[in-house]
Amino acid sequence: MSFSGGYIFKNYEGEAEPVLRGMPVPEKICIPISGSPEGFFTSAVSEGETVRAGDTIIKSTDGTETAIVSPVNGTVEKSDKDGITIKSDGSASFEPVKNHTREPWHLDHEEVFKLFCATGCSFLLDNRFSSLDKCNTVKNIIVNSVHNSPLNRSWTPEIIGDSALFSSGLKTLKALFPAAGIVIAINKRNKAYFETSEIKEQAKIAKVSDRYPQEHPELLSRDVLNKKLVSPEGETDESIVVISHVDVIQIAEVMTQGRPLIDRIMLVSGPGVSTPGWYRVSIGTPFDELNKRLFKMGDLGPWRIIRGNVFTGQGVESLDTSVMFSDHEISVITEHAARDLFRFMMPGFAADSYPKITVANLINIFPKKLETNVHGGLRPCVQCNYCDEMCPVDLYPFLIWKHVEVDEIEECFRLKPYDCIECGLCDYVCPSKIEILTSVKKAKDEYRLLRRADENSD
């Protein structure tokens, strides 16, 4: 399956090696309570108490028995309404999950759901699954096994877990969402892993494009199911769940093997990472600890730490924040504010540019650099159409930007700015350094605001 637009990123500095490593047990972990995805939570431990990795430290008060377990062995230093801090003793052992079973799909629906909540696995999906009824509304599950983002093309599914474990994860999902069919979206290059009879019994396989941002949930839904995930008005189709390959593996580890949910399997990559690759990082690890152990902050900095991929992630503002359940990827790229005038004349072998104006794009031998610098100043649009060419949802970003610039936002609604998935490719390729996405997003937000106002006035 293919689509127009998108981009294949090849040969960038800081690409992840296809290896899964364990990160040493952190000195302390901090887990906020107020920021918990489902809201109703309270501490289950007291200051000074000794805990084992796998013991419940935070529990729900909404009757679902949802729990968060301690990611480390150690002593509770702080426990209040805001969160829990545990000083670790450095040991890596853990308490196995109580009541886990090798084949949870033989339990009845209520028991599977209870186990799913009590082990904290519900945090790996979004917070709408707070009851059995809500699980029954799901009709389609897309497992996202696509990896096309700039620093992650070398991913192979074997490094995260074998296909038998993956198949157990699929069976567990089927037991949890009995009304749903499963489709696994994959890159062709990884197809051998998915061709076991066990996997094929559980799910259909859809080979999708090798171009970024195919892994975006909206594009997966469009290309795999032929359905829109989010409507123009911003409503999400609740019958569709998109779950990452890693999350299927981690659910299987917890519910079928009894390994408590104490860490996240995450991609940590970019030129600012000493050994880019896949890591098991304890939940609650402060970014400060990642900085000391994995990042090159002292060397040739400064760096920008991004939670997510370099185009769609959010910059980390404080090293005191911690790794949480929703983290899948951390990128560290060069923070480079200097302007390179006459960029088109740059002889650098590492300079990246979509139009073939740098040596690096003509002779793709040396790894290219991803950095925050936009290189050069804002210029008038040269009508090159690169942004149109790149857009994976067939918008005319340039035309939308023009309308927004002259304050004709409502006139550009016919150009469907609400379909923008905010992949950032238009900004990336624009040789005139125009912040196109900011304008498209403005038009999209305005459209949704007006539609909501219309609905309220009806």
* Binding footprint of ligand SF4 on the chain (CB under 6 A): 381-387, 390-393, 395, 397-398, 401, 420-426, 429-432, 434, 436-437, 440
> Least separation, in Å, of the C-beta of 199 and ligand SF4?
31
Give the pair of three-digit tokens for residue 84.
Answer: 């829990």
Peptide bond into 96 cis (omega under 30): no
d(CA 42, CA 183): 37
Q: How far apart are CA 390 and CA 202, in angstroms?
A: 35
Which of 74, 83, 86, 75 lies closest to 31 in space, CA to CA?
Answer: 83
SS3 195: coil
- 45-74: burial string, b at 16+ Cβ within 10 Å, e else: beeeeebebbbbbbbbeeebebbbbbbbbb
Largest CA distance in the chain: 67
Instruction: Please say whether the dihedral angle defined by the alpha carbons of residues 341, 344, 347 and 353, taken in this order, is positive or negative.
Output: positive
- Which CB sits closer to ligand SF4, 26 or 313? 313
Residue with tokens 């157990």: 168
Q: In angstroms, what is the minimal distance from the CB of 397 to ligand SF4?
A: 4
3-state secondary structure of 126: coil
CB of 412 to ligand SF4, least distance (A): 12
Residue 173 in tokens: 């999902």
Owner of token pair 């796998």: 54
Q: How far is the CB of 401 from ligand SF4 (least distance, A)?
A: 6
Measured distance CA(339)–CA(341) in Å, rounded: 6
Q: Which residues are bridge partners to 79 per DSSP?
A: 84
> At its nearest, how many Å lie between ligand SF4 and the CB of residue 377?
13
How far apart CA 43 and CA 77 sit, in angstroms, is 13
Closest distance between ligand SF4 and the C-beta of residue 179, in Å?
A: 31
CB 57 within 8 A of CB 41: no
Q: By C-beta, is 16 or 443 nearer to ligand SF4? A: 443
Looking at beta carbons only, is 161 or 424 nearer to ligand SF4? 424
Residues 6+ apart with CB under 8 A from 376: 339, 340, 341, 343, 433
Least distance CB 47 / ligand SF4 (angstroms): 47
Alpha helices, H only, 177-222: 191-194, 197-202, 217-220
Shortest Å, Cβ 64 to ligand SF4? 36
Closer of 69 and 429 to ligand SF4 (Cβ): 429
- Judging by DSSP bridges, how do beta strands 41-43 and 56-60 pair with one another? antiparallel
CB of 91 vs ligand SF4, minimal distance in Å: 46
CB of 340 to ligand SF4, least distance (A): 18
Ramachandran region, residue 120 (left: φ > 0; alpha: ψ -120 to 50; beta: rest): left
